Amino acid sequence: MQNEHFLTLAEHFGTPLFVYDAGMVLERYNDLKRFIDHPRLELHYALKANFNPALLTALRDAGCGIDAVSPGEVEYALHLGFAPEKIIYTANNMTDAEFEKVYASGVVMNIGELSRLRKAGFAHPGMSVCLRFNPDVTDGDSAKTMTGGELTKFGILLEDIDKVLDIVREYRLKVVGLHEHTGSGIQKPESFHAAMKALMSIATPENFPDLEFLDFGGGFKVPYKPDEQPIDYVTLGSGIAERFKEFEKSYGRQLKIKFEPGKFMVAQCGTLLTRVNTIKRNRKRLIAGTDSGFPQLIRPVLYDAYHQIFNLSNPEGREEIYDICGNICETGDRFAEQRPMPEIREGDLLGIANAGAYCYSMGGIYNLRAMPSEVVVKGGKVISLRRRATDKDLIDNITGTTESCDMAL
Ligand SMILES: Cc1ncc(COP(=O)(O)O)c(C=O)c1O
């Protein structure tokens, strides 16, 4: 989208404002399908990355499935019209009540703990399950988003395969899928192959004769820094498809291959527009104070993530070095530290790029500031507006969910 479009949207809808390009999301979906050229490829978009209903509806209509990680996400996907068989439920540390609720909806249950597998078998002998394994491959764009290897809570250890098989036999479970997810923002293409190899090593017809699919999670990274080289997904995708076809031969039957991309599908489609209202010099630091803050885009604070920031109102200004801060009562409330930018003046509009994944969806109302409005653009038109809550909405929500109690302990 061009600067002038962002300026128009900010003027019309106010700031802060999330802007998403639905056309780009669909392009990414089709790109991945083209790169991984396998006739039985199924993509399940990781809903946690961005739950905007207009984006999800566009993906549903394109035939995409959903990777859901909570009963709320499952219910939401069903509500939006995703069929149960298009949804995989990959929760961790789920409660019995959560398990039963999702099981009743007919969604495939992906189980990553021996203890949950045993409870599932006891409650529903003969049920169909998918099993999540830890591929023992460690990769991702932050230690906090690496989900394989020694330090993670996710998945069953590969070395526990005999324990898994004992439980499967005891409760006559039908294992229809095997799953792994290495991490978010996988840096090295080799990690995809290593993780696939690890999962395939246990996916034998002797261990699991009823397999219908293997699911290799998400993690396809996109560049966030201006000089970051994108991964060669054409080569990676064809390598993945080849490897899977070889696997199918050794397994002796055709299977589906699934992935659960989040970031790759939505990161680049989103921009957070925020207006600078204060310029201040604190001895050595030149500070640009904006009308957004870290609860609305937490990745820089949580992961030390880099997001490109554009001065949309003054792109040709003389370069200066800024700390770009939010309006939250915390010193760490910065989108960027010591960032060279074209001169920022009070009233300028900034665009924070790659704000489509894990930004709004990880947001909150710390300091009682409501999350921004979201607009979705497609084919040169605004097709959806999700309004920002008012201060009154926030207060009504807090007070409306509070009641006095009189319970003796
Ligand atoms: C199980 C699972 N699948 C898929 C994803 C999506 O990862 P990404 O957004 O990096 O593609 C995640 C994210 O953490 C995940 O935990």
Section 45-54 average pLDDT:
98
Q: Does residue 232 share a domain with residue 155?
A: yes
Q: Return d(Cα 201, Cα 133) in angstroms, integer.
A: 12
pLDDT tens by residue, 339-378: 999 999 999 999 999 999 999 999 999 999 999 999 999 9
Q: Does residue 248 share a domain with residue 302?
A: no
Q: Please say which residue of 243, 265, 287 terminates a domain.
A: 265
CB 387 within 8 A of CB 373: yes
Residue 114 is assigned to a structural domain of this protein: yes
pLDDT of 111 above 90: yes
In a domain, 394, yes or no: no
pLDDT reported for residue 31: 97
The yes-or-no verdict on residue 151 having pLDDT over 90 is no
Which tokens go with 242?
Answer: 């080849």
| Residue 373's CATH number | 2.40.37.10
Please indicate, yes or no, whether residues 252 and 311 belong to a single structural domain of this protein. no
Residue 328: CB atoms within 10 Å: 18
For tokens 């799953």, name the residue: 179
pLDDT of residue 367: 98
- Does the pLDDT at position 1 exceed 90? no
409 inside domain: no
The pLDDT of residue 320 is above 90: yes
Q: What is the mean pLDDT of residues 228-246?
A: 95
Q: What's the token pair of residue 235?
A: 């080569």
With the most atoms of ligand 1 within 8 angstroms of its CB, the residue from 184, 214, 222, 231 to mutate is 184
Which residues contact ligand 1 via a Cβ below 6 A?
46, 49, 67, 90, 147, 181, 184-185, 217-220, 260-264
Q: Are residues 122 and 72 in the same domain?
A: yes
Which of 265, 299, 324 terminates a domain? The answer is 265
Residues 228 and 310 in one domain: no
Catalytic residue chosen out of the listed positions 64, 269, 325, 329: 329
Same-domain pairing of 371 and 324: yes
pLDDT range class, residue 91, cuts 50, 70, 90? confident
- 401 is a domain residue: no
From 47, 67, 141, mutation site for ligand 1 pocket: most ligand atoms within 8 A of C-beta: 67
Q: Are residues 171 and 52 in the same domain?
A: yes
Does residue 402 fall inside a structural domain? no
Residues in the chain: 409
Does 190 share its domain with 149?
yes
Phi/psi-derived region of residue 194, left when phi > 0, alpha when psi is between -120 and 50, beta in every other case = alpha
Q: Between 22-35 and 233-251, two packed helices, what is the crossing angle to 10 degrees?
A: 50
Q: What is the mean pLDDT of the chain?
A: 97
- Statement to judge: residues 323 and 221 lie in one domain: no
Q: What is the pLDDT of residue 29?
A: 98
Cα–Cα distances in angstroms (integers) from residue 164 to residues 148, 171, 208, 343, 354, in the given order? 18, 11, 11, 60, 40
Paired tokens of 55: 């984006």
Prior bond to 16 cis, omega within 30? yes
Give domain status of residue 279, yes or no.
yes
Residues 162-167: contacts with CB under 8 Å, at least 24 apart? 163/114, 164/114, 164/117, 164/131, 165/207, 167/114, 167/117, 167/118, 167/121
Average of per-residue pLDDT across 249-271: 98
> Does residue 261 sit in the same domain as residue 351?
no
Q: Within a domain: residue 16?
A: no
DSSP labels for 18-68?
EEEEHHHHHHHHHHHHHHS--TTEEEEEEGGG---HHHHHHHHHHT-EEEE
In a domain, 172, yes or no: yes
Number of the ligand 1 atom closest to the C-alpha atom of 219: 10
With 0.85 as the threshold, say if the pTM is over it: yes
Q: Are residues 183 and 231 located together in one domain of the fold?
A: yes
Domain span including residue 40: 22-265
329 among known catalytic residues? yes
- How do beta strands 270-282 and 349-352 pair? antiparallel
Total tally of structural domains belonging to the chain:
2
The continuous run of DSSP H or E covering 238 comes out as helix 233-251
Report which protein residue has its CA nearest ligand 1's atom 12. 218
Statement to judge: residues 255 and 288 lie in one domain: no
- State the pLDDT at residue 87: 98
